[in-house]
Structure 1
Amino acid sequence: MKGIWVINGQNWRAVTIIMIAAFFAAGWLYLERNSISVFTTDSGPQAFYRSETDEKKVALTFNVSWGEERLTPILDVLESEDVDEATFFLSASWAERYPELASSIHERGFTIGNHGYQYKSYDTWDQTKVSQDIQRGQQVLTELAETKPVLLRPPNGAFNQEVLGIAEKQGLSIIHWSVDSKDYQNPGTDQIIKNVLEQTTAGDVILFHASDTVKQTDKALPDIIKGLRDDGFTFSSIESLMTGAEPESSEVK
């Protein structure tokens, strides 16, 4: 006589619950693989600026808001130096003006972050205007890159607690920086290299620019990349740094 599986009502309910839980777990894992959570703590959303880690990983980030001459040389340097991970925060009004350049960042495999639509400091605007500017930036950049940004760097790096809350509601993490190359000052290639190599430690987020006002970044990058690698650093995505981050916060007014 062949065995017959018999499941009573109680067991059937248990099996059903397990199957439903497995379904949602699988869905969560799929979404988790394709997105990251807003960087938040028990006291609310925080801006991410570095990871407290012993691993010698750093993230290269570039702000872009003006011009068409400097971006491609920087992309070429990253490619020639075999740097696979970097994040470009794009002003969406710039991306509308130069869609081919914006698309080339995505095509080369780098991450695109939202740098707002208008290049105006958010801490001087009311919440409605900030929310609308972020949303417009999201729409433009999603259409150009065919992927929705999950990282936001407010124009001029200016934000307050209200901006943090708006970003959280839109599913965005605000990304600041812990090392400033000061390349926007055009202080000379040697000084930019020094600014980065002397400050960088494990887990840092490094700020560069790729707008036309910044004329020396592409020349400084090869020595910066080599110097960091010689010191044992590897280049990581911001998402990877955030995954292992221990949240630290300071008061944002």
Structure 2
Amino acid sequence: MKFFWVLHSRGFKQAALILLAAFFSAWFLFVQNLFHAPVFSTSGGPKAVYKGEKNIALTFNIGWGDERTVPILKTLKKENVRSATFFLSGSWAERHPEIVESIIKEGYEIGMLGYAYKDYSELKDEEIQQDIGRAQEAFKKLNVKDITLLRAPTGHFDRRLLKISERYGYTVVHWSIDSQDWTNPGVEKIVQNVHRADKGDIVLLHASDSAKQTNNALPELIKDLQAKKLTLVTVSEMISNSSTKSEEIQ
């Protein structure tokens, strides 16, 4: 009987350890998914778009620098890409009105990336509103009209931004494919990161000076997407022509 109890006790401890390990593994995956969730929405409230139903949208964030954007515009034109969305910070737009004009002239869509490129998740509500207000004034002075899309400058946001953006009449746009071009991992790696894109995906790219390899990756990246018979559209075109996806944040 004593021998049986020792075996039984050992078996119980082993089972408990297995269950405990499984619990922590599940918890880790849950937390990881929570913090890497591509987009959020409040229950029954305003939503942030991160994915459509068909076609594909290339989006470019620009927060600083004047060396990368013009070459990217030339490459897009050379590759016959007529639809793309550029998210600009208001402070950058003020400093580079001629580049803003070139983006508009080429027929590309402009979205707002706030004004000072601050992390909205770390700001108070009134500070977020002030930043958006400054961006609005900047674009108004540049005669950039009808901006309806807003992207959180650093990609971090919560339900507060969704509610604030709704009051301002903006749709918050995230992404479903991150090229990670801002890390300068190499042209092949950028292309590889975007290769998994499929119908409805919104691709994050950058045209700031820190993204040194984006322009060189674009020709192959575009050819790869076109080989999948994916049509390149703006985010607004994607939103208007299909249903979009979002996730709930508590």
Q: Which runs of 5 or more residues in structure 1 are unaligned?
A: 1-39
Question: Equivalents in 1 of 2:241, 2:66: separation in Å?
Answer: 35
Change in CA separation of 1:42 and 1:251 when aligned onto 2, cut-off 3 Å = closer
- CA deviations 1:91-138 (Å, max 9, x no partner) are 111111111112211111111110000111111111111011112112
**Number of the residue aligned with 2:46:** 45
Match of 2:224 in 1: 227
Corresponding residue for residue 72 of structure 1: 70
8 Å CA contact 1:49–1:178 kept in 2: the answer is yes
Contact 2:51–2:246 under 8 Å retained in 1: no
TM-score by length of 2: 0.80
Match of 1:214 in 2: 211
TM-score, structure 1 normalization: 0.79
- 4+ aligned runs moved over 4 Å, structure 1: none
206-215 or 103-112, which moves further after superposition? 103-112
**How far apart are 1:42 and its partner, in Å?**
7.2
1:133 and 2:131 aligned: yes
| 1:205-236 per-position Cα deviation (integer Å, ceiling 9, x unaligned) | 00000000110000000001111111111101
Secondary structure at the aligned position of 1:62 is classed as strand
Question: Alpha-carbon deviations, 1:136-182, whole Å to 9, x = none?
Answer: 11221233243131100011111111110000000000000000000
Sequence identity, in percent?
43
- CA distance in 1 between partners of 2:235 and 2:144 (Å): 19
- Which residues of 2 match residues 54-203 of structure 1 at below 5 A? 55=54, 57-197=55-195, 199-203=196-200
Q: CA deviation at 1:247?
A: 4.5
- Using the alignment, how far apart are the partners of 2:80 and 2:144 within structure 1? 24
Corresponding residue number in structure 2 for 1:15: none
Distance in 1 of aligned mates of 2:74 and 2:238: 24
- Aligned-pair distance for 1:70? 0.4
The question of whether the paired residues in 2 share the 8 Å contact of 1:103 and 1:145 is answered with no
**Which runs of no fewer than 5 residues in structure 2 stay unpaired?**
1-40
What is the CA distance between 1:242 and its match in structure 2? 1.0
Bigger mean CA deviation after superposition, 136-145 or 99-108? 136-145
CA contact (8 A) 1:142 1:148 kept: no
After superposition, the CA RMSD in angstroms is 1.7
